[in-house]
């Protein structure tokens, strides 16, 4: 079972990917994690990617796909995997499809966690983080015991730059321009499945499990 997770930043696709990985015993693969691992271990692919990153350039799609295919060739992916954060664009999706096709392989499902922009802005702007110990909260869903203060270490909580409304709106703009076209792309391939991401996380997961089973 090979799955691609789609959805805007803050839609909760990472949370759902973790739940899928746990239930079906398949790895949740984030491209960011793969890059960091390859660079840390000094692999040939990692060194190649690091050259681009050190120059402030985007890692080419072809190299990203090679790093990804190297990861999914691992034994723990024999029963499938979940891709989170890749592909982000149509060219990336086409590059991935081409390489998987050469291996006589393909993606089974593209799961779109659908959440309106307004909900995402409200959801993310409610996040709070502890700059000292890294604990995270939400003023509505996971509030600290004392407003503005970390339960763990007593430090004053902050709003991360990534969670500020203006930043979130900009990230959503980029998503709609670059990544949202993937929804139509996978719909045409008859593998797109959309779930209502505004519901409780457990309800969203049940909807996904129904699709997969």
Per-residue tokens: 155: 């430090």
Residue of 160, 169, 173, 189 with catalytic role: 160
| Catalytic residue check, 123 | no
Residue with tokens 């954060």: 85
Residue with tokens 């409610």: 126
Residue of 66, 171, 199, 206 with catalytic role: 171
| Catalytic residue check, 127 | yes
Q: How far apart are CA 102 and CA 68, in angstroms?
A: 14
Residue of 2, 13, 19, 123 with catalytic role: 13
3-state secondary structure labels for all residues of 19-66: HHHHHHCCCEEEHHHHHHHHHHHCCHHHHHHHHHHHCCCCCCHHHHHH
Backbone φ, ψ for residue 159 (5° rounding): -100, 120
| Catalytic residue check, 160 | yes
Q: What is the CA radius of gyration of the chain?
A: 18
Residue of 88, 99, 164, 193 with catalytic role: 88
Residue of 19, 123, 127, 128 with catalytic role: 127
Q: How far apart are CA 126 and CA 69, in angstroms?
A: 37
Picking from 96, 108, 120, 98, the residue whose alpha carbon sits closest to that of residue 176 is 120
Q: Catalytic amino acids? A: 13, 88, 127, 160, 171
């Amino acid at each position: 079972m090979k799955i691609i997770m789609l959805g805007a930043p803050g839609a909760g696709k990472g949370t759902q990917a973790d739940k899928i990985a746990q239930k079906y015993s398949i790895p949740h693969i984030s491209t960011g994690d793969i890059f960091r691992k390859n660079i840390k271990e000094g692999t040939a692919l990692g060194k190649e990617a690091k050259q681009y990153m050190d120059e402030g350039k985007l890692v080419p799609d072809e190299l990203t796909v090679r790093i990804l295919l190297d990861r999914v060739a691992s034994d723990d992916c024999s029963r499938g995997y979940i891709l989170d954060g890749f592909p982000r664009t149509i060219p990336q999706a086409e590059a991935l499809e081409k390489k998987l096709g050469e291996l006589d392989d393909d993606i089974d499902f593209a799961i779109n966690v659908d959440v309106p922009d307004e909900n995402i802005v409200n959801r993310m702007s409610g996040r709070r983080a502890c700059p000292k110990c890294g604990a995270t909260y939400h003023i509505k869903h996971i509030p600290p015991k004392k407003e503005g203060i970390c339960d763990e270490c007593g430090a004053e909580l902050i709003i991360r730059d990534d969670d500020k409304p203006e930043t979130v709106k900009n990230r959503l703009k980029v998503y709609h321009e670059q990544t949202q076209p993937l929804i139509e792309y996978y719909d045409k391939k008859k593998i797109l499945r959309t779930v209502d991401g505004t519901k409780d996380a457990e309800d969203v997961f049940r909807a996904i499990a129904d699709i997969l089973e």
